[in-house]
Amino acid sequence: MPMLAADRPLPDKARPDRPVQDGGPDLRVRLAHDAESATIGAGEGHRLTASTGRRSRTLRPPVRVTVERGRVRLVDAAGGSSDWPRGREVLIASDRGGVVIDEALYPGDAVIVPKGESAFDVIERVPIEEYLPGVLSKELYAGWRDATYEAQAIAARSYALQERQRRRALGSAFDIESDTRDQAYGGSEAHAKARRAVAATRGVVLTYLDAPLRAYYSSTCGGRPASARDTWPIGQGFEFNLAGPIQATPRQCPCGFSPRYRWTVTRDTETLAQRLAAFGADRGSDLRQLRALAAIEPARRNVAGRPAVYRVVDRDGRSWRLSAEDLRLALNFTGRGQGPPPTDARAWSGDVEVAVEGATVRIEGRGFGHGVGMCQFGAEGLARQGRTAAGILAHYYPGARLGPIR
């Protein structure tokens, strides 16, 4: 497979030899978890079929879904009610494709997975190429360049495929979450530019050591990237976070036009200390003992100069070490009895300088998001300079290759 080269179009060898069959591998996208009710509809004049492996039944949409004593119960628009075997997943598909789940349209089928006695997950089963336009439309601005969309399509496809392999190896009932825990996803609500970019890169993924790269990306790196190995677990089952292309190789990043390239927020010192302590309690760490906050300072920086670990110090001189990602989460943590931090005072990234000034804490930050891998504002900055999708990907995932889905 060819190396990524800057400013070249996607190499033909990166493309699959044959057209990707239908829409490529199926992805199971979790749309809702621990739901107690849902409504599954379909387009005008469509019929729905509910089935398990052994049994199927035609239903008139919309269909009301509940779980009672561990059994999926479906009530259709004609008033017909059916109960399904305890603990069994039920597939609900339209005869003409696409389903409406709680009033949002999705291109795939719905799978109802009972959990316990009365709750269930709603999972969409959708070919990966039909899933991706709904990701791009959520992740990027409508006015951004085609090259940015194409780079994002390849990164999102690679990430989804890697997560799919990881979860299937664990026996998970779904492959990927539909929000920022994995990738934001808007179902069929996708614009033409997103569809074009997915079609133009069909079947192409980033690979590293012959495996799909977990191609992390985030909004704005603020000029210096974070390393996957500093940000997420690297133990058994998480070796993919050690991949070279996602380890904060220093780079120039033209993300200065992002509204969150630099930001400053202020917080109340006492409330902030309570958030940090609540985060410590939630994680079972000694940080729960924090009372009076004295300082938060970098304890280690990565090769790009971005803090990877911070030290939180209290007024008695005790200190706790916290990864940059955990600090970002802790600064925004909502403990029991607390409200969330005001939206305009959130910590937008883990690259911060913190000044404790009496009753007030001033946080000066760089960027928005975890900062690992591709910077979306930076990708758009490069696209405006004339870079192609392959050039953008080479910039943000140095050492990765482009190859076909296998």
Chain positions contacting Zn ion, by CB under 5 A: 221, 253, 255, 375, 378
Tell me whether residue 161 or residue 374 sits nearer to Zn ion (CB atom): 374
CA–CA distances in Å: residue 295 to residues 269, 278, 353: 10, 17, 10
Q: How far apart are CA 160 and CA 128, in angstroms?
A: 8
Structure tokens at 253: 């990043």
Tell me whether residue 159 or residue 396 sits nearer to Zn ion (CB atom): 396
- The helix or strand, by DSSP H or E, that contains position 29, with its residue range, turns out to be strand 26-35
Closest approach of Cβ 224 to Zn ion, in Å?
8
Nearest-CA neighbor of 400 among 1, 7, 4?
A: 4
Tell me whether residue 158 or residue 376 sits nearer to Zn ion (CB atom): 376
Closest approach of Cβ 321 to Zn ion, in Å?
26
DSSP track, 267-333: EEHHHHHHHHHHHHHHHT-GGGG--SEEEEEEEEE-TTS-EEEEEEEETTS-EEEEEHHHHHHHHT-
Tell me whether residue 255 or residue 390 sits nearer to Zn ion (CB atom): 255
For the chain, the first-to-last Cα distance in angstroms comes to: 13
Closest approach of Cβ 345 to Zn ion, in Å?
23
Closest approach of Cβ 117 to Zn ion, in Å?
47
The residue type of 35 is A
Closest approach of Cβ 262 to Zn ion, in Å?
12
Tell me whether residue 221 or residue 400 sits nearer to Zn ion (CB atom): 221
Closest approach of Cβ 150 to Zn ion, in Å?
18
Tell me whether residue 23 or residue 223 sits nearer to Zn ion (CB atom): 223
The answer to whether the CB of 333 falls within 8 A of the CB of 347 is no
Q: How far apart are CA 107 and CA 91, in angstroms?
A: 14
